[in-house]
Structure 1
Amino acid sequence: ELALKSMRSNNWGRVINVASVSVKEPLAYLALSNSIRAAVVTWAKTLATDVGKHHITVNSVLTGYFNTNRIAQLNAKKAEQLGIDQSEVLKEMESRVAVKRIGEPEEYGYLVAFLASNEAAYITGTNIPIDGGLLKSL
């Protein structure tokens, strides 16, 4: 609320939520996380309507697979459990993505920078996947 108070007084602001593609296609092994993320994007949609008149936009980025330490840790754990090389886990992950690779962090940054800019002033209340085509739903 403190950030919104400042944004309202400036008659401008950006709220960008980091969410997950699991908002559109829930992951079976992440029931609690799926429900919390769905609640966040629903809250964001409501907030967008409430603050839009103050030139504040509210959007959620639905994150797919990115080349991060977290993905490397998860892949290492899965590889150990399956008794295979970590590169095989990565290869299987990449095979599910339309562009056949995982994203680089700077690619994520480009989208967020755009959403934070004046050029994105008419984009609000949206859920934008950045997943290389991982999602199968519309």
Structure 2
Amino acid sequence: MNFSLISDQSITIVGVEGYETCDVRAFLWVSAPTLAEACTLAKEQLQLELVQDGENYSVEVSRPDDWDNKKHQLSIRYAVMLPSSANINIVSTHGDIEIINMTGHFIAKAPKGECFCMGCGSGIMQDKTGSFAGG
């Protein structure tokens, strides 16, 4: 699979023929006074779109994760099974995105700004300065 940033905090994941289906999870931290407001914010701030065979499929939040009552922070997880022939766009207007495969192995992280993830599930990323970070 190839991972590349197509705009600010937007990752395009391209399934390559021959690879197994991958459960892609995007994690986003948001802060709000209540859990309900945090969930609403997360839905607004992170959009997932699955494109397969020219058709668009919306992807719902799989479940909210780790509500912190003291900090009023929510880690929310989106999950989608990604067929090898599909493209998926994960777009965030707020916060970093982490992508984890179905075995829980870190694949890529996209902070604000340009970056490019090298390799298939390697967790190796190159940012615009040319530096690398392992996952």
Q: TM-score, normalised by structure 2?
A: 0.25
Higher normalized helix content (fraction of residues): 1
Higher normalized strand content (fraction of residues): 2
Q: TM-score, normalised by structure 1?
A: 0.24
Rg larger for: 1
